[in-house]
Structure 1
Amino acid sequence: MDYLQLNRANWDSRVPIHVGSDFYDVEGFKAGRSPLRSFEVAEVGQVAGRRLAHLQCHLGLDALAWARLGAEVTGLDFSEAAIAQARAIADECGIPARFVTADVYDAPRALGETYDIVYTGIGALVWLPDLTRWAETVAALLKPGGFLYLAEFHPFTDLLDDETGTTVTHDYFDRGPHVWEWPYTYTGDEVLEHQTSVQFRHTLGDVVSAVAAAGLRVEFLREHGQTYFPRFASLVESGGEYRFPEGRPRFPLIYSLRAAAGSGPRPAADRPA
């Protein structure tokens, strides 16, 4: 099974649907809307004048939002269709940014540069089979003193039933691969041309252990009680965020992690030539 080929075809077919969707609201972005979550902006801190790489950037909206805040941005994605859209949006908005088509594991070679910040946004890690190699890739991209910032769906949410979020229906340690045949993407009911995707689950321990093994120092791991789509039918929406209603027990829906590179040599794996 070639997970990369299947997933690339699946994401290539999502691109035109996502560009026209209310979920991504590309026209709103062009008018000045930022897709970044408020906790991300606060936790990353000042980016003006800093070099930032966004791995698995899709349409590039988050990357370009960091550029609007003053970062010197490079976005990378394995979908040429997505990168073409990212470049077009950047050009139309007059935002300076670099976008490169490559698999995330090839990022050090494809980018050939190092960065102050490596950013990975929500919904990225599920597409990667090997977190150890991913973390080594991140470490190879970071300048000494730079940091990784990751915001991601909490793996606990994958355990529970979709309706109430109260019943454990899945195995937390079933890492996959999980092959899905699904005609739609998450933005609506338009039918995808390529409907097969391959996903991989990672525990919170998997993520932290991979980051630490790559030589990065974890500065914080924070868990958040909100998400940004109706993951469970029992969630209530307010101001674009979805939370459990008052009075019921809660659990984390998203987590964020920041980890700093040291001043020593970077891991040998995937160093830029």
Structure 2
Amino acid sequence: MYAPTPSDWRDANRARWDERVPIHVASDFYDLASFRDGKEALRDFEIDEVGDVTGRSLLHLQCHIGLDTLSWARRGAAQVVGLDFSEPAVETARGLAADLGLTADRAAFVAADVYDAAEAVPDRAYDIVYTGTGALNWLPDIQRWAETAASLVAPGGFLYVAEFHPLTDVLDDETGSRVLHDYFARDAWVDTSPGTYADLDADTVHNRSVEWQHPVGEVVTAIAAAGLRIEFLHEHDASLFPRYGSLRRDEQGYYRFPTDRARIPLMYSIKASRPG
């Protein structure tokens, strides 16, 4: 249901995420035992597009329980910092870092709102500012987000964004072939669905969430207006979960449409740099 932004949107979303942290920790979806044993959490296109992170500093905005953040540390980043507004998520991430033998100077986690990141993180500039999938839809003001993220990119560094394509929220859930919603909608989307993507049948209490749809052009424009140079915008024909009933899981673990039907972008990625 589309509606004007409710005044309690942040509190509602935080309560929802706080409640789901222990569910995610226990889920097969995140499979923390395998992650501790070395299983890769990053997607192959992210690894290729971000490139070698050896010796670099990396800030992960909206990091949840920190699997992606810690994966960059495993790949050689000299320092990673994860930020999330959920205290239980940050505490879980700190525990995972300790399990991996990563000290606070290698992997630190901060509990703060993403809009307050510039004041909350330990340093004021990072070689790489990263944000992973399922992050931007929780933010009402994409211009403010872009300004915040850009302000934390060091000279010669870059911002990297990987996200679900907003077109996917316009189409019907069953087939992904019929347009049902407005791509350019500006109102908030208020949902009350129980459970979580990591466990659809989980018994949950805090089920109200408030989200926003940000067209790709709006995101790119906001990043450019914040002073970064767009290096690329890539669209991907795969998703990380079965967004539509017609998607099929491939050998790499991605979900794609069958080969006999036309494809649409299901995800996108952006790299934007600050001149040295």
Q: Does the TM-score normalized on the shorter chain lie above 0.5?
A: yes
1:58 aligns with 2:69: no
Equivalent in 97, 108, 123 of residue 118 of structure 2: 108
Structure 1 counterpart of 2:212: 200
- Residues 151-230 of structure 1 aligned to structure 2 (within 5 Å): 151-188=162-199, 189-230=201-242
User: How many matched pairs?
Assistant: 263
- Distance in 2 of aligned mates of 1:126 and 1:192: 21
Q: Which string of whole-angstrom CA distances, capped at 9 and with x for unpartnered residues, describes residues 42-66 of structure 1?
A: 0000001000000000000000000
Q: Secondary structure at the match of 2:52?
A: coil
Map 1:42-191 to 2 at 5 A: 42-71=48-77, 72-95=79-102, 96-113=106-123, 114-188=125-199, 189-191=201-203
How big is the alpha-carbon RMSD for the aligned residues of Structure 1 and Structure 2?
A: 0.9
Q: TM-score, normalised by structure 2?
A: 0.94
1:52-94 deviation digits (Å, cap 9, x = unpaired)? 0000000000000000001110000000000000000110111
Gaps of 5+ in 1: 264-273
The yes-or-no answer on 1:242 pairing with 2:264 is: no
Does structure 2 conserve the Cα–Cα contact (< 8 Å) formed by 1:105 and 1:137? yes
Which segments of structure 1 move beyond 6 Å, counting only runs of 4 or more?
none
SS in 1 for 2:210: strand
**Post-superposition shift, 1:112?**
4.2
- How far has the Cα of 1:262 moved from its partner? 2.9
For residues 204 and 93 of structure 2, the distance between their equivalents in structure 1, rounded to whole angstroms, comes to: 20
| 1:261 to partner: Cα distance | 1.3
The CA distance in 2 between the partners of 1:199 and 1:257, in whole Å, is 21
Q: Which amino acid aligns with 2:236?
A: H
Q: CA deviation at 1:2?
A: 1.5
Aligned partners of 1:108 and 1:140 also within 8 Å? yes
Is the deviation greater in 223-232 or in 173-182? 173-182
Deviation at 1:176, TM superposition (A): 2.1
Q: Which residue in the other structure is 1:268 paired with?
A: none
Between the aligned residues of both structures, percent identity stands at 58
Q: Which residue of 2 aligns with 1:3?
A: 9
Q: Is the 8 A contact 1:163 1:232 kept in 2?
A: yes
What TM-score comes out, normalization by structure 1 length? 0.95
In 2, the alpha carbon distance for the partners of 1:227 and 1:175 equals: 24
Structure 2: how far apart are the matches of 1:226 and 1:252?
7
Q: Which runs of 5+ in 2 are unaligned?
A: 1-6
C-alpha displacement at 1:39, in angstroms?
Answer: 0.3
Task: Give the alignment partner of residue 39 of structure 1, picking from 33, 37, 45.
Answer: 45
